Amino acid sequence: MKTKFSRKEAEEKINGFFKKENFSADEVKKIKRIAMEFNIKLGNHRKLFCKKCLNKLKGKIRINKNYKTTMCENCGFLNRHKIGY
Protein backbone atom coordinates (compact mmCIF):
# COMPACT_ATOMS: atom_id res chain seq x y z
CA MET A 1 0.00 0.00 0.00
CA LYS A 2 1.33 3.36 -0.93
CA THR A 3 0.99 6.04 1.67
CA LYS A 4 -0.06 9.35 0.31
CA PHE A 5 0.15 12.46 2.37
CA SER A 6 1.08 16.06 1.93
CA ARG A 7 4.56 17.49 2.13
CA LYS A 8 3.70 19.18 5.41
CA GLU A 9 2.54 15.90 6.88
CA ALA A 10 5.72 14.25 5.67
CA GLU A 11 7.83 16.92 7.37
CA GLU A 12 5.92 16.49 10.61
CA LYS A 13 6.37 12.75 10.40
CA ILE A 14 10.11 13.12 9.89
CA ASN A 15 10.56 15.66 12.68
CA GLY A 16 8.48 13.57 15.05
CA PHE A 17 10.42 10.47 14.17
CA PHE A 18 13.79 11.89 15.09
CA LYS A 19 12.52 13.03 18.47
CA LYS A 20 12.18 9.42 19.48
CA GLU A 21 14.65 7.93 21.96
CA ASN A 22 15.23 4.92 19.82
CA PHE A 23 14.72 3.86 16.25
CA SER A 24 15.81 1.00 14.06
CA ALA A 25 17.64 0.91 10.74
CA ASP A 26 14.45 -0.19 9.00
CA GLU A 27 12.59 2.82 10.33
CA VAL A 28 15.36 5.15 9.18
CA LYS A 29 15.15 3.58 5.73
CA LYS A 30 11.44 4.35 5.58
CA ILE A 31 11.95 7.92 6.74
CA LYS A 32 14.70 8.44 4.19
CA ARG A 33 12.41 7.19 1.47
CA ILE A 34 9.70 9.64 2.51
CA ALA A 35 12.24 12.46 2.63
CA MET A 36 13.42 11.60 -0.88
CA GLU A 37 9.91 11.38 -2.23
CA PHE A 38 9.11 14.86 -0.98
CA ASN A 39 12.59 16.20 -1.53
CA ILE A 40 12.95 17.12 2.12
CA LYS A 41 16.44 17.71 3.47
CA LEU A 42 17.22 15.77 6.61
CA GLY A 43 19.80 18.36 7.66
CA ASN A 44 20.76 18.00 11.29
CA HIS A 45 18.77 14.81 11.63
CA ARG A 46 21.52 13.09 9.68
CA LYS A 47 23.72 13.27 12.75
CA LEU A 48 21.36 11.01 14.60
CA PHE A 49 21.94 7.85 12.62
CA CYS A 50 24.94 5.99 11.23
CA LYS A 51 25.59 6.75 7.56
CA LYS A 52 26.48 3.17 6.85
CA CYS A 53 24.19 0.88 8.82
CA LEU A 54 21.45 3.46 9.55
CA ASN A 55 21.12 2.46 13.18
CA LYS A 56 20.83 5.12 15.86
CA LEU A 57 24.29 6.56 16.18
CA LYS A 58 26.04 5.99 19.45
CA GLY A 59 29.60 5.21 20.30
CA LYS A 60 32.94 6.83 20.94
CA ILE A 61 33.05 10.48 20.07
CA ARG A 62 36.21 12.29 19.09
CA ILE A 63 36.31 15.98 18.49
CA ASN A 64 38.94 17.97 16.65
CA LYS A 65 38.93 21.50 15.43
CA ASN A 66 36.36 21.20 12.68
CA TYR A 67 34.85 17.79 13.00
CA LYS A 68 33.11 15.57 15.43
CA THR A 69 33.72 11.94 14.69
CA THR A 70 31.46 9.27 16.11
CA MET A 71 32.45 5.66 15.75
CA CYS A 72 29.33 3.58 15.28
CA GLU A 73 28.97 1.00 18.01
CA ASN A 74 27.14 -1.25 15.63
CA CYS A 75 29.33 -1.40 12.51
CA GLY A 76 32.46 0.57 13.40
CA PHE A 77 31.96 3.15 10.67
CA LEU A 78 33.39 6.58 11.42
CA ASN A 79 30.69 9.18 11.03
CA ARG A 80 32.13 12.62 10.59
CA HIS A 81 30.14 15.78 11.07
CA LYS A 82 31.23 19.33 10.72
CA ILE A 83 31.03 21.42 13.85
CA GLY A 84 29.44 24.82 13.70
CA TYR A 85 27.56 26.44 10.89
Residues of this chain that interact with Zn ion (CB under 5 A) are 50, 52-53, 72, 74-75, 77
Give the CA diameter of the chain. Answer: 47
- Using a 10 angstrom Cβ sphere, with 0-12 exposed, 13-18 middle and 19 or more buried, the burial of residue 7 is exposed
Nearer to Zn ion, 13 or 30 (CB): 30
Closest distance between Zn ion and the C-beta of residue 77, in Å?
5
Min separation Cβ 6 and Zn ion, Å:
32
Beta pairing partners, 71: 78
Q: How far is the CB of 58 from Zn ion (least distance, A)?
A: 10
